[in-house]
Structure formats: structure tokens, C-alpha cells
Amino acid sequence: MEKNKILVTRPQLPPLNEFIPLLEDIWDSRWLTNNGKYHQEFETQLATFLGVPYVSLFSNGTLALMAALQCLKIKGEVITTPFSFVATTHSLWWNGIKPVFVDIEPDYCNLDPKLIEAAITPETTAILPVHVYGNPCELDEIQHLADRYGLRVIYDAAHAFGVKYKGSSVLNYGDLSILSFHATKVFNTIEGGAIICHDLKTKRRIDYLKNFGIADETTVVAPGINAKMNELQAAYGILQLKYFDSAIDGRQHITEKYRKGLKDIVGVRYLENPVDVDYNYSYFPVFIDESEFGRSRDDVYEELKKHNIYGRRYFYPLISEFSAYRGLPSAKGLDIAFEISRQVICLPLYPDLADEVVDLVVSILLGMQEDRKEVPVKIGNQNNRKID
């Protein structure tokens, strides 16, 4: 039964016969970590592949985000979203920073830039937006606000590997961007992450911070942590780059098949690709309007499970609803994020997902709609907007 489960994602793996020679080389060298040759090669290849100036590899994305906040010496308050994986806000907490939640915009579920200014106080030092589902935030508008108020911008780009806006990587925006290479992501190194920065001086500081603050054998320049990526993950990542484009082609095919099957189902909304964006098809979220569809999101979630199909309610509950954060003043009044979190379910999406599974998901939703209450038809999926 476990083998037959259709999960929301499945890790993309490089060919084992290509990985084994790299493992043998690592075994022969006995250099397992601490900036080995595969680590150095992966950083170089990754920067070229992504079209960014500098990459610093990490053992995971959460430690990368924690180190990024340390690197820029962020203190006080940071404006962020309640609609993300909890690691976004946990990274602030671990740095002694107070998160200030701002509601999201309804089209792409990103931080609403129109609400940021009202949340800025004398204690605000940075903005931490998330490119939710890999769809870019309102990049120019957020930067304009940051420049006006002298704030730093750190993007949680965990979902945005390979995404471009107007031909340039979204990772080139803000002061720093953070990637996750967790097994669930479109690009994985089993576990892993990275910080993208714009100059060599910043990269050196980041590299010190992820290696205990060590500059050389007798010099420690900062109270760093241990967040280095090892050689096995780096070698694995080098192989993964070879197959990324074909993986995206597969994900695009599945996405387009979902869209075609779901387009006429009233009360089920999905996201179109934003204008001027080269997308990575990282997730396929749908939003169930109970008043129109006649059944709730949780009804859909449970019905899919009966067929051994396991969607995920990304992101539910909101971060602001967890016990560590719900007492914050900014945890109230997040109406759009709250509504979206009760509507969203991400459907299975990975390159080798069988077309028959997509057909089954669509047929399940169509079958559920047959029992729905009669309501006026609303034209959906009219949410293709331009990023300002």
C-alpha cells in the first residue's frame, strides 16, 4: 500500500551509474567535507547555471536563512508573510528578531506590497518575502519601499530555483536570496541550500559564518555555526544540474494537463504563469471555493486519500496560528491569508507522474462537483497579472 501511494511530490534522482564513479572518487580521496573539490565545482557551476554572481552552499535552506540574517546583522523587527513553511519565521526567532506579519495578495499568495508600508516602524530593519510556489513577488515595488525606508530585503526563494523575471534570475533581486535543495524541491541535493549574494566580500563573510567563523587555522572572525554542505551532496548536485531542464519539461506537461482538465470546474481555481516569468512548475496548488464547488477543501483532501492520492495543504495552518507566534499583534487581521489557507490544496506534481493519475484526480473532482449545490457560475482563473 505504501508503495502505491501517490504523494504530492517525488524526488528527482540522477542516474545511479553516473553517481557511483563520483562516490568512488570521494572514497579514494577521503575528503568528505570542508570545501572539497566537488563543493567548489558545484558552487561555480551553480552560479553559471542560475546566472548569479556568487553562491555559497549550505547543508540546508533553514541554516542558510539563519546565516543570511546574521550576515546582514538584521535586528529588531522584520516584515514577513504568514503564508509560508514555518522555517521562514523560525529563522527570525532563532536570531532574536520579531516577525511582523503582513497579509498576502490573493492572486499569487505573495506578501502584499501595498500593506508593507503601514507595518514599518522605527524598529523595522528588513523585509523577508517568499516567492510562494515559485511565483515572483512584486520585486520592483518591494525594492522601492526598501530603498525609501533604508531596509534590507532577503528573499526566501526556496521554491524559486531556475525562475526568471524578464530574462534574469529572480535570485538577483534583494540583498540576498535563499535557496532550499530539500528532497521535495524541483532541484534537490537530498538536503541542502544556498545563499545567493552580489559581491565577493559578502560571500567571504557568509563562508566564514557557515564554518564556525573560521578564517584560517588560528583566526576566528565571527561566532559562526556549522552549516557546510558535504562532498557527497555537492557531487550529487553537479549531476542534478544535467537533468534539470528535462525535469522542468516534465513538470510543465503535468501542469498543463491539470489546467486543461480543471478549467471548466466551477469553484476550483488554479494559478496561471505570471507575465514575463520563466516558471519552474514547482507546485500545482488549487483553491476550492466551498460556496461554489459545494464541497470544502478538506472534503477534497479526504476524497483524494480514499484513492491513495495525497495532496498537501500548503500552507495550512498559517504560521501566525502556531502557538509560538499567535500572540503577536501582527498575527491578527490576516484575512486573505486565512481564507487562502482554508482553500488551498497542492496536487501531486513531479516529472514522471503518470498522465492517468492526473486524469484520475480530475475525474474525482468532477465527480464531487456533481453533488454540489446549485450556485451562480463565476468565471475563474482570470488572475494573469503583470509583475510591477
Catalytic residues: 185
**Main-chain dihedrals φ then ψ at residue 126, nearest 5 degrees:** -160, 165
Contact between 65 and 225 under an 8 Å Cβ cutoff? The reply is no
Buried b (16+ CB within 10 A) or exposed e, 191-222: bbbbbbbeeeebbebbbbbbbebbeeeeeeee
328 secondary structure, DSSP code: S
80 secondary structure, DSSP code: E
- Coil, strand or helix at 234: helix
Distance CA 159, CA 135 (A): 8
Distance CA 107, CA 254 (A): 21
Distance CA 388, CA 138 (A): 6
- 10 Å CB burial of residue 302 (0-12, 13-18, 19+) is exposed
Contact between 104 and 110 under an 8 Å Cβ cutoff? The reply is yes
Distance CA 331, CA 321 (A): 7
* Grid coordinates given for 166: 524578464
The helix (H) or strand (E) run that includes residue 27 is helix 16-29
* Grid coordinates given for 382: 482570470
* Nearest of 136, 88, 90, 138 to residue 112 by alpha carbon: 138
Contact between 163 and 136 under an 8 Å Cβ cutoff? The reply is yes
87 secondary structure, DSSP code: H
